[in-house]
A and B are shown apart, each in its own frame.
Chain A
């Protein structure tokens, strides 16, 4: 997080993963671990963005559904599905958050100079969730803004 502020052309490592056929990426510094799918406990009356909880070796971690926020069809857990456990600061608290990805691809170095702003009309996702886009082997990679993409739905945080 901090390392992209040093200068304009700082290097950064990103983890790329697939959601509904698109390639997304998040800074490796946020990724705590990658696990095979785990049993999920549904939280009743929860926000659809954070429908459940999982047990990551004794820690109870909320599982968020990024597909829901990106307007994608519900997830189908398959052979290649993985759980990404992320270390984030949510609402001012250091929180572990888990998300399900269809596949985890690769770790890549990107320079912040390569990161292009998102064209207002070019993507079907809320621009506020995205830090920028880049190309890897000719394929578009969408780099997520971790804080924004995983922020609790506002009606939840307001009650605090």
Chain B
């Protein structure tokens, strides 16, 4: 692990992400006590660990923020839309403070926010002083035994802060015990040898004490209620969970205290290590393919049996490693709730976001690259797609517009669709624009679907005025580029007046793909299975057109096909095994004629060198079981290339 401050930043970032989700939840259900508690706990953790790692300004600021939620918990204040607005702003402010690093000075913005928070909390407490909730808890006496773990100081536990916080709860008598201090000869100055007892008279109750110790995970704490009428009761609160663990596991162990995250036994691992694991797995998959081939060549039954066993083990290992990399897409969706909320306020459009399928798991690298394009699509939907309330009323639609976000797994792919119930795409406007921009010829005949596809062309933007939201030059072409880099495709469906749906189709993972191994001429190619629909035989009569592109009838549908050897400029083989691999890209089917289909093949993508990476149609390379190099095709780019060469030829 990296420095303690880094792990705090990591942890804080997670908490803030969770906090955003909780606040939005609270906005929807202002009366939920458990949600208020969750906000409070998140803030409390931030404050405590912030102070521990030198983010003092952050801790001070968060303290005020936390107080406001404490008042709500105690029924002295209420959740109002203003409070949520302010809380979100404060959350963003904390994010900036974390970015500023430890030891940063108070920002002037802090003071302004604090004033507002205090005003709001004060204003919104009508019942206040005589509030029954406060009165109910009477004075209690607690005896607390605090025995820090030997390594507590080394791990950064601030006992002074813990004691101060306890003293703030009421009248406290703190006694320090030095009976465990060894002789000077044996003393280790970095180990804590002292322990304390605290007699505390407080009206705040047991929970308040528990909260003080919320992250004192490396202290043994016993709290005894010695209020005269209560029977003395000793409860060990926390057995330091990491007593046996080495100190560097602390950040992982601390996660258990993290309220925003789901409680589970988890270990935090740098994603780079996962990447390394993935690379090694890739090598293993290749070596295993080689072993299979050798076993096949030798025909030795014992060797073949072992090779098969190894194959099963490798595929099990592959599944486990891939599953480690898979994360639910929910946190990304949460970001969008915020985007939608802020945008609808800014643009004066009432929009609700409905997210479904947040539990769908996607490879971490895919998730990381997805956020930007999705934000872009959603912004486009709200800015260009959804009409202003008056226009919606006039069109007989509910004023409250909807954006539906839906993630689901389908076969080896993840589908993410973003649907709005806005005005829909205007095919005519797109056409005019495309002609104006020289993207299509004025007389070109394109289907609506093809016209919609044009919005992904570089330099295309139908927004007539620039708003702060979209139309800033990064257009939908950037979206398509990112999605294609991820081996995915984008599809648009739209109906005028009803709405638009953009669907992203992505592979589950990037590093290893399931492909179809084919031969074109002498060379082997891998077509990602995610873009393959089926393979059919090539009827000889269909194979005669001179243009290089012909039409094939599959069941009731006509599918154009093209010959890869011709496209690649390879010599034509007289193979009897010629097949058509039917691909489906962005809803369009296209056949690729190959000389031979060898079969399904699981493979690791190795990037191409600078000499070859710009060849349109190639996605990477891989090593086959026989040691030869095969190229991985990017089916979408192959089809695009074919269409553009045809345009040039025509």
Give the interface of A toward B (CB within 8 A).
39, 41-47, 49-50, 53-55, 58, 60-62, 64, 90-91, 93, 95, 97, 152, 156-157, 159-160
Contact = CB atoms under 8 A, between A and B. Distances in A.
Contacts of B610: 90-91, 93, 95, 152, 156-157, 160
Interface string B421-449: 00000000000000000000000000000
Interface string B583-598: 0000000000000000
B199 to A, nearest CB: 67
B350 interface: no
B618 A43 contact: yes
Given A53-B621, A55-B627, A90-B610, A46 B615 contact: yes
Contact of A62 (B524, B612, B622, B630): B612
Interface in B611-650: 611-612, 614-618, 621-623, 627-631
Contacts of A58: 283, 286, 623
Contacts of A60: 606, 608-609, 621-623, 629
Contacts of A45: 568-569, 615-617
B569 A44 contact: yes
Nearest to B525: A44
Interface string B561-585: 0000001111000000000000000
B485 interface: no
B131 interface: no
Contact of B611 (A44, A54, A64): A64
Given A44-B569, A58-B623, A156 B611 contact: yes
B164 interface: no
Contact of B614 (A53, A64, A160): A160
Contact of A55 (B523, B567, B615, B629): B629
A62 B607 CA distance: 11
Ranked nearest first, the 6 interchain pairs of A and B with the lowest CB-CB distance are A44-B568, A50-B611, A41-B629, A62-B611, A62-B609, A159-B614
Give the interface centre of B567, B570, B615 by most chain A CB atoms within 10 Å: B615
Interface in B375-394: none
19 contacts: A41-B523, A42-B522, A42-B570, A43-B612, A43-B618, A44-B631, A46-B612, A46-B615, A47-B611, A49-B611, A53-B612, A54-B629, A60-B622, A62-B609, A90-B611, A91-B610, A156-B611, A157-B610, A160-B614
Nearest to B607: A60
A85 to B, nearest CB: 13
B611 A152 contact: yes
A61 B522 CA distance: 19
B570 A55 contact: no
A41 B631 contact: yes
Given A42-B570, A46-B612, A60-B621, 6 more contacts: A44-B568, A53-B631, A55-B623, A55-B628, A60-B629, A157-B610
Contacts of A42: 521-523, 570
Give the interface centre of B522, B609, B630 by most chain A CB atoms within 10 Å: B609
Interface in B254-305: 283, 286
Contact of A46 (B283, B611, B629): B611
A43 B614 contact: no
B570 A44 contact: yes
A140 B523 CA distance: 40
Give the interface centre of B286, B570, B612, B621 by most chain A CB atoms within 10 Å: B612
Contacts of B621: 41, 53, 60
Contacts of B623: 55, 58, 60
Contacts of B570: 42, 44
A55 B628 CA distance: 7
Contacts of A55: 623, 627-629
B477 to A, nearest CB: 16
Give the interface centre of A46, A64, A159, A160 by most chain B CB atoms within 10 Å: A46
Contacts of A39: 627-628
Nearest to A92: B610
Nearest to B615: A45
B293 to A, nearest CB: 14
Give the interface centre of A41, A44, A60, A95 by most chain B CB atoms within 10 Å: A44
Interface string B364-379: 0000000000000000
Contacts of B609: 60-62, 90, 95, 97
Give the interface centre of A39, A41, A46, A95 by most chain B CB atoms within 10 Å: A41
A50 B612 contact: yes
B564 to A, nearest CB: 8
B613 to A, nearest CB: 8
Contact of B631 (A43, A61, A159, A160): A43
Contacts of B608: 60, 62
B648 to A, nearest CB: 14
Nearest to B627: A55
Contacts of B523: 41-42, 44
Interface in B45-103: none
Contacts of A160: 610, 614
A27 B420 CA distance: 62
Interface in B110-164: none
Contacts of A91: 610
B29 to A, nearest CB: 51
Give the interface centre of A60, A61, A91, A160 by most chain B CB atoms within 10 Å: A60
A52 B82 CA distance: 64
Contacts of B618: 43-44
A61 B621 CA distance: 10
Nearest to B570: A44
A77 to B, nearest CB: 15
